[in-house]
Amino acid sequence: MSLPEILTILLGILLSLIIFDGFRRALRSRKAGLKVDLMSPESIEEVLQDNEEYSDHKNRFEENEIFDKKYKEEVHLEEKEEEEEEIKIEEKKHNLIIINLSSQNDVFSQESILSNYKSLNIRIEEQGYMSILDSDNKLIFTLLNAKRPGYFMEGNSSSDVALVLNTDKINNSVEAFDYMYSFANNISELFGCNVLDENRNFLTKQMHDHLRTSIIELKRKQLAKSA
């Protein structure tokens, strides 16, 4: 066998070995890749556990969201009801306009008031207070004993009386308030007493204007509701 033939055979064997080694390395790399992509049982368990916890957290979150929504709706409803109740109480409170008259002596009685205001249409109620009426015998305002028990018994007197105007019971509440205020000033001059607001502070012009404005605003709201 000649030298060129021997070299050709050796070269063929060498190439075969190189190709075989290449296939072997490629197969090993593929197996290694598969091993990397595959998870161990522990890893699978961790993933499943994480998934369950996530689902549980998600469900709880959704349940909490629903609960929070319902709770917020209930709280909002309660707050709205409380607010409406407060408005009703406030409106009811504002329906009563009170002017107090206070003296150093017990100068007020049924007899002293009736004798000094014979020209007025005054009705003595069974409950012991006085109703100041207009020419049609409709109530304008009420005069009460500002001390307990709140009414005038026959023969008794008091140092304090209260004039009360219920704006909810009369239509011309602004005119009624003006009349009551004028009556309070007249009593103040006649009996020498102080004109006070509902909190028994001096009834200033500013407070008078505030009360008058509040009556106008209250009537406006009542008309708006009834419209």
129-147 pLDDT per residue, tens: 999 999 999 999 999 999 8
Tokens of 85: 């109740």
Domains and CATH numbers, the chain: 96-226 (3.30.1400.10)
The set of residues, in sequence order, having a beta carbon less than 8 Å from that of 39 and lying 6+ positions away, is 47
pLDDT digits (tens, 9 = 90+) for 156-190: 899 999 999 998 888 889 999 999 999 999 999 99
What's the rounded Cα separation, in Å, for the pair 200 and 101? Answer: 9
What is the rounded CA–CA span in Å between residue 1 and residue 181? 145
Angle of helix 205-226 relative to helix 41-95, nearest 10 degrees? Answer: 110
- What predicted TM-score, i.e. pTM, was given to this entire model? 0.59
Helix (H, G, I), strand (E, B) or coil at 107: coil
**Exposure string for 49-81, b = 16+ CB within 10 A, e = fewer:** eeeeeeeeeeeeeeeeeeeeeeeeeeeeeeeee
User: What's the whole-number average pLDDT of the chain?
Assistant: 78
Q: What is the DSSP string of 154-192?
A: TT--BSEEEEEEETTS-S-HHHHHHHHHHHHHHHHHHHT
Beta bridge partners of 141: 132
Question: How far from the centroid of its chain's Cα atoms is residue 66's Cα?
Answer: 23
Which tens digit of pLDDT belongs to each residue from 68-123?
666 566 666 666 666 555 544 444 555 899 999 999 999 999 999 999 999 999 99
